[in-house]
Amino acid sequence: MALSAREPRVAPERLVAELVPPLRFETVRFDTYLPDPKQPSQGAAVKALDAFASGLGEGARAGTGRGGLWPRRARRRQPPEPRGIYLDGGYGVGKTHLLASLWHAAPVPREAKAFGTFVELTNLVGALGFRRTVDTLAGHRLLCIDEFELDDPGDTVLISSLLGQLAARGVALAATSNTLPGRLGEGRFAAADFLREIQGLAAHFRTLRIDGEDYRHRGLPRAPEPRPEEEVIRVAHATPGASLDAFGPLLDHLRRVHPSRYGALLGGVETVCLTGVRPVPDQATALRLVVLADRLYDREIPVLASGVPFDRLFGEEMLNGGYRKKYHRAVSRLTALARDAAAAA
């Protein structure tokens, strides 16, 4: 099959139903997270998140005046604490593992908690509309947002308004990012012009810093070299559930498919085979590829490729620009998936 031949359609209701941890994080729990003993912040984060999850039990609904995450008496004597928790750290320190563990540990019904990436959240607003999104998510006790990033002023105002209304209606918030909440949008647009919205977002969270190295490369061999094109084609034809695409046409196809449908684009695919991988030509294409890399990683789909190595996908200007953290994350994840494909091949 070819991904570039697919035209997936996704109903808005499915977008809501799929707001759960992806397959890769379906079985993770706090006790399956292995803190690096050299990084005390990792163990401290586990304890803080475990306590946060416990505070989400029956009757603990923030901001409603009926109990809450903090005792009533304490709230009277001191300024109200943020109603969310924010995990800040580099690539591969286990932030998504911990966020998914929080979702699993929260003692509330499955339908009362939601988990999605920042992109999936903005796509949900685009599919449902702002008011319907607020009303839908306001029925939840916990909203977990992975890979929190602000790429443009529109997203800043949109998410600031959305999270403000959800917090006011008692929804507890948890998020991960590589950027401190007060510095979201920095280097991407005129963040100073939207300082009020950014500071408003930061006010919803208290920050937990998680230090450490990228576990995907900790003690592992270097990323495998790209394979010869004829080998990639042979493996694609010999592997059940494999897709086969030339890299250039696939990038063109991604331009015609909304990122909210990239997950559906991969439905039923067990292995992705790519020929002719080359540096991405422009920023818009690169950002679409980042979303595809995230969906591939979520679904644990190996990627076998010919062409240039994945660490040469993005040019120096991109890797040093405002979206550099997205690109580094994509390289890290695609490298992990390339190792999986090399082992399978």
Decide if 202 contacts 173 (C-beta within 8 A): no
Which of 44, 67, 322 is closest to 207 using CA atoms?
A: 44
Decide if 230 contacts 273 (C-beta within 8 A): no
Question: In 3-state terms, what secondary structure has residue 67?
Answer: strand
Determine which helix (DSSP H) or strand (DSSP E) holds 266, and give its type and residue range: none
Say yes or no to pLDDT of 96 above 70.
Answer: yes
Provide the pLDDT for residue 241.
95
Provide the pLDDT for residue 131.
94
Which of 269, 284, 282, 270 is closest to 317 using CA atoms?
A: 282
Question: β-pairing, 271-277 with 113-117?
Answer: unpaired
Measured CA to CA, the distance from residue 213 to residue 1 in angstroms comes to 37
Q: How confident is the model at residue 150 (pLDDT cuts 50, 70, 90)?
A: low
Query: Which of 80-84, 142-146, 338-342 shows the lowest per-residue confidence on average (mean pLDDT)?
Result: 80-84
Model confidence pLDDT, tens digit, residues 57-80: 755 554 443 334 434 444 444 444
Q: How confident is the model at residue 152 (pLDDT cuts 50, 70, 90)?
A: low
Q: What topology does CATH give the domain 33-210? A: Rossmann fold (3.40.50)
Residue 85 DSSP code: E
| Residues facing 273 on adjacent strands | 244, 304
> Which residues fall within 8 angstroms of residue 229, CB to CB, at 6 or more apart?
275, 276, 306, 307
Residue 272 DSSP code: E
Where helices occur in 55-94 by DSSP H, the ranges are: 72-77
Provide the pLDDT for residue 191.
40
Measured CA to CA, the distance from residue 334 to residue 329 in angstroms comes to 9
Mean pLDDT of the chain: 83
Decide if 314 contacts 331 (C-beta within 8 A): yes
Say yes or no to pLDDT of 158 above 70.
Answer: yes
Provide the pLDDT for residue 337.
95
Measured CA to CA, the distance from residue 307 to residue 296 in angstroms comes to 19
Model confidence pLDDT, tens digit, residues 234-280: 999 999 999 999 999 999 999 999 888 898 999 999 999 999 999 99
Q: How confident is the model at residue 179 (pLDDT cuts 50, 70, 90)?
A: low
Average pLDDT for residues 3-23, to the nearest whole number? 88
Find the length of the chain: 345
Look up the pTM and report it: 0.74
Which of 220, 216, 235 is closest to 304 using CA atoms?
A: 235
Average pLDDT for residues 33-53, to the nearest whole number? 93
Say how many CA atoms lie within 13 Å of 127 toward its Cβ: 19
All CATH 3.40.50.300 domain ranges of the chain, comma separated, are 33-210
